[in-house]
Amino acid sequence: MTVDQTPQEPRAGRGYARLASALAAVVRPPGERPTTLRGRILAATLVVLLAGGLAVGVGALTGALGGSSAAARNQADGASSPVSSDLRTGSATVPRTEHEARSTPEPASPAPRSAGTGEGRGQASVPPPPSSSEEATSEVTQSTSTTASRRVAPAVPEDEPRETEETTSSASRTSETKRPPAPKVLATAAIVNHGGGRCIDVTGKGRTGVQLGIWDCEPVEPWRTWTFYSDGTVRSQGHCMTAVGSGNGAQIQARNCTGGAAQRFTLNTSHDLVNIAADRCVDVKDGRVGENAAPLQLWTCQGADNQKWSLY
């Protein structure tokens, strides 16, 4: 058995050689002689270059297609990415890295605008909600105003009104204690004149502001009844005998009691009814002692019967 000792070419080399031969047979015109080894090598090199160029072209085409698809994907992803643009200002916000997101605080997002408002139509935009700094400032302002109001209007002690009431009550008690005591009643009776036996009468059954006169003592009537008090007043039906003036001829009337000097009279032991301030006697005018309704006046005390009086 004879073993073929001829060295064999590698399979890859044989494939390239066959490809080169086929190509050379196609390219070589008919009747041309076969190429030499050098021609085969050149032809193989040309085939390799053509194959490499074809592969590079296919790769470039594939890369271009892949790049366009990747750009489309990036554009689609950009709609949902954190990159946002402000339509009003035209500025874009670039997404930050994870480290920047952790270290840099997020800016406050602008307040949402309502659907029905717009600056282009002249409508007022919805004001943004106050930030935390504004809230803190308002709280500080409120607390400052509250403190100032407390300082300006201090609280009134609870016991102060009580002290005021006690002071008022004590003052009223003091004024009551300073008031003079009520005058005492000394005598109540009719006052009769010695000359004609007629009594002092309040004209018109008790009219005030009218000159007093004399009238029959019987029957006894309230407007002819007089009460002498310790303060010097002489009263009938709650009104005081009053000298309207201090000279001779001054009328004697019944008026509201004031406690003045013109209302102070005394009936002395000489039976003179004297006004203390004027030092003149109650006198029946013109000595008409026997006449009803004869008027009374002040006159200098002379001791005549028309100036003498007693309790009846």
Domain hosting residue 196, numbered range: 185-311
pLDDT at 195 over 90: yes
Q: Tell me, yes or no, whether 161 lies in a domain.
A: no
Q: Is the pTM of this model over 0.85?
A: no
For residue 254, list its beta bridge partners: 241
The pLDDT of residue 192 is 97
Q: Mind listing the pLDDT tens digit for each residue in 197-208?
A: 999 999 999 999
Rg (CA), the chain: 71
Give the separation between CA 57 and CA 272, rounded to whole angstroms: 162
pLDDT band at 121 (very low <50, low <70, confident <90, very high): very low
Q: How many CB atoms lie within 10 A of CB 101?
A: 12
For residue 245, list its beta bridge partners: none
What mean pLDDT is predicted for residues 86-92? 45
The pLDDT of residue 26 is 55
Q: Mind listing the pLDDT tens digit for each residue in 71-82?
A: 666 665 555 444
The pLDDT of residue 67 is 66
Q: Tell me, yes or no, whether 34 lies in a domain.
A: no
Q: Tell me, yes or no, whether 251 lies in a domain.
A: yes
What mean pLDDT is predicted for residues 41-63? 80
Q: Tell me, yes or no, whether 72 lies in a domain.
A: no
The pLDDT of residue 165 is 60
Whether 228 contacts 187, CB under 8 Å = yes
pLDDT at 66 over 70: no
Highest mean pLDDT among 145-154, 169-178, 184-193: 184-193
Mean residue pLDDT of the chain comes to 74
pLDDT band at 15 (very low <50, low <70, confident <90, very high): low
CA angle 153, 156, 162 (to 5 degrees): 160
The pLDDT of residue 122 is 42
- In terms of C-beta density within 10 A (0-12 exposed, 13-18 middle, 19 or more buried), how is residue 237 classed? middle
**Quick one: which of 143, 233, 138, 136 has its CA closest to 184?**
233
pLDDT at 260 over 50: yes
The pLDDT of residue 71 is 64
CA angle 125, 129, 131 (to 5 degrees): 135
Asked which of 111-120, 151-160, 225-234, 258-267 is least confident by mean pLDDT, the reply is 111-120
The sign one gets for the Cα dihedral 285, 288, 290, 294 is negative
Whether 206 contacts 223, CB under 8 Å = yes
The pLDDT of residue 147 is 53
Q: Tell me, yes or no, whether 13 lies in a domain.
A: no
Whether 272 contacts 307, CB under 8 Å = yes
Q: Mind listing the pLDDT tens digit for each residue in 212-248?
A: 999 999 999 999 999 999 999 999 999 999 999 999 9
- In this structure, what CATH number is given to the domain that contains residue 201? 2.80.10.50
Name 156's Cβ contacts closer than 8 Å, sequence gap at least 6. none
H/E stretch holding 146 reads helix 132-152
pLDDT band at 196 (very low <50, low <70, confident <90, very high): very high
Q: Tell me, yes or no, whether 172 lies in a domain.
A: no
**What is the tally of helices (H) and strands (E) in the chain?**
6, 15
Q: Tell me, yes or no, whether 76 lies in a domain.
A: no
Q: Tell me, yes or no, whether 277 lies in a domain.
A: yes
Give the separation between CA 23 and CA 34, rounded to whole angstroms: 12
Q: Mind listing the pLDDT tens digit for each residue in 289-302?
A: 999 999 999 999 99
Place of tokens 């139509």: 121
How big is the chain, counted in residues? 312
What total of structural domains would you count in the chain? 1
